[in-house]
Structure 1
C-alpha cells in the first residue's frame, strides 16, 4: 500500500516553471495530494508503454480465439507465454513475487490471482477472468477480460455485463485535474445500485515504468479525494464485483488464489489508461 501523504511537486533546478507546474503547485498549496513528478511520463515513455500495450491486447485476442469448454487453464497459460515471447516481450506475472505462471485465470467464485493448472478444466457456463501483464523493452502494460464459456445463467451474464459497465463508468469519472477518488465513487454507486458488492482489498494502480506504482485506484467510495490526476499519468482501473458479499479470502493451499467468502461468482475487467488533456485514453483492451 502506498501512503496517501502530501506530495511536494518541484521544478528541477534550471528549468523554467510552466503553467502546468503552477497549476499543480496551487492545488498542492490547497492541501491536495499531488503526484510525484516521476508519475508524469514523457512522450518517449508513453510510446514505450503503447508498444507494450499492443502486445498485451494481442495476447488477450489470442486467448479469445481459442478459449472454450474442455480446455485447461494451463493451456491458456501456454498461449499467453508463447504469444508474448514470440513478440519479443516478457509475461510480467511470471515469477513476480514468486507467482509461478504467466497469467492469472480466475473462474466463477475466484476473484483474482487464480493460478493456471492442468486440473482446472473450463466447463460450459463458467465465467473466467484472464488477467495479462506484459513487459516490452522495460515498459509494462496490464489488462484483463471476462470470458463466458458457452451459455451461462442470466445471473452470471448480468454480473459480467455490469462489471464492464463499472469499468467504463469509472473511466468516464477519471478527469484531467480531477481526483482519483472520483473513480471509486462512480464504480461503487453503479455496483451497489445493481445489487452487487465491491471487493475493497485490491485496487487499480499506476503502471508503465514498473508493474505497480502510485496512485492506488480504489473501486469504492473512500470519501476522500485521493491523488490529483494530471495529463501524462498512466494507471489501471480494474473493478472486482461480487454477486454476493464483498468478503474474500486467500486460499491457504497456494497463498495466491482469492475467493469470495460466500462462494458466489465474481467478475473483473481491466484496462490500462493514459490521462490526457481530454480525459482517459485506453491503451490496453
Structure 2
C-alpha cells in the first residue's frame, strides 16, 4: 500500500478530471444507436491526448497468456461486465446498456473511473440495475473514512445490491490507484463489517462495484480481456477514484 501526500492527490485528481469531463460533457451525445464501440474509443482517445495525457490502458500488459491491451478505453455492453474490447463490428442498439472504464496518465499520475450509460430507452429492470449499481458505489464511498476498514466498504455495496435483487461480481474488484494503474490494496465489493485493512489518511482507492442481474459468476472471452456473465444476463459498472483526506472520502473523478 502506498499512501499519498496532498500534492500527490492533487496530481491524481487532475488525471481523473479528464475522465470526468468525458463522462459528463463528451460521451453522452455519442451514446446512441448505430455507433460502434471502436468509434467511442477513438473519441475518448482523441480527447485524452488533447489534454496532454496518455491512455494508460493502451499497451497495458498483464502477461501471458493474455495479449497486451490495444485500446484507450474498456467498453462493455449488456452481458459484458468489464474489460470489453472496442470493436468496429460492435454496434450499439436502442435498449442496450454500455459501461465505459477509462484510465488516464498525466505527468506520472493515474486516474480511473467508470460509468454505465443507457442507449436510448431501456427496460425498467436495466434502469434499476444502473441505479442500484451507482447507489451501491456511493454507499461504499460513504464508508471510506479513516478508522473504518475495507470490509465496511464491501459490506455496504453487497448488502444494498443483494437487497435489491442483484449479485456482486467477486472475481474483479476495486484497488489502490495513483502511482500505478493498479496498486494494493484490493477493495472487494463484498465483505463483512469491521474486517480487512484499516482505512487511513492518504489512501487513494478506486471503488468500483460491478453488479449482475443474474449470477455473480463470470468468464473471460476468447479475446483474453472481455469479461462476461456466464448466464448472459446484464451487468453494470460504476467507479470513482477516492482519496481519504482529513478522515473523509474525497471523490477525485467527478466535476
Would the TM-score normalized by the shorter structure come out above 0.5?
yes
Aligned residues of 1:60 and 1:132 also touching (Cα < 8 A): no
Deviation at 1:150, TM superposition (A): 0.4
**Aligned mates of 1:96, 1:58 — CA distance in 2:** 23
Q: What corresponds to 1:56 in structure 2?
A: 19
Deviation at 1:278, TM superposition (A): 4.1
SS of aligned partner of 1:58: helix
Aligned residues of 1:110 and 1:266 also touching (Cα < 8 A): yes
Q: What corresponds to 1:41 in structure 2?
A: 4
Aligned residues of 1:104 and 1:130 also touching (Cα < 8 A): yes
> Aligned-residue CA RMSD in angstroms?
1.2
Alignment of 1:154-193 (within 5 A): 154-193=124-163
Return structure 1 stretches of 4+ with deviation > 6 angstroms: none
Please, which of 177, 188, 191 is the counterpart of residue 218 of structure 1?
188
Larger Rg: 1
Does residue 129 of structure 1 match 2:106? no
Count of matched residue positions in the alignment of Structure 1 and Structure 2: 247
Q: What corresponds to 1:104 in structure 2?
A: 74
Change (3 A) 1:224 1:175: closer
Deviates more, 1:46-55 or 1:215-224: 215-224
Q: Deviations over 1:64-106 (max 9, x none)?
A: 2322111000111101110000110001111111111110000
SS of aligned partner of 1:225: coil
Aligned residues of 1:91 and 1:134 also touching (Cα < 8 A): yes
Q: What corresponds to 1:198 in structure 2?
A: 168
**Aligned mates of 1:233, 1:278 — CA distance in 2:** 10
Deviation at 1:224, TM superposition (A): 6.8
**Aligned mates of 1:126, 1:216 — CA distance in 2:** 30
**Aligned mates of 1:231, 1:42 — CA distance in 2:** 9
Q: Tell me, which stretches of 5 or more residues in structure 1 are unaligned?
A: 1-35
**Aligned mates of 1:224, 1:121 — CA distance in 2:** 44
SS of aligned partner of 1:121: coil
Higher relative contact order (CA 8 A, sep 6+): 2
Does residue 66 of structure 1 match 2:33? no
Aligned residues of 2:74 and 2:83 also touching (Cα < 8 A): yes
**Aligned mates of 1:188, 1:50 — CA distance in 2:** 27
**Aligned mates of 1:245, 1:280 — CA distance in 2:** 31
Please, which of 235, 248, 251 is the counterpart of residue 266 of structure 1?
235
SS of aligned partner of 2:116: strand
SS of aligned partner of 1:83: helix
SS of aligned partner of 1:267: strand
Q: What corresponds to 1:26 in structure 2?
A: none
TM-score when scaled to structure 1? 0.84
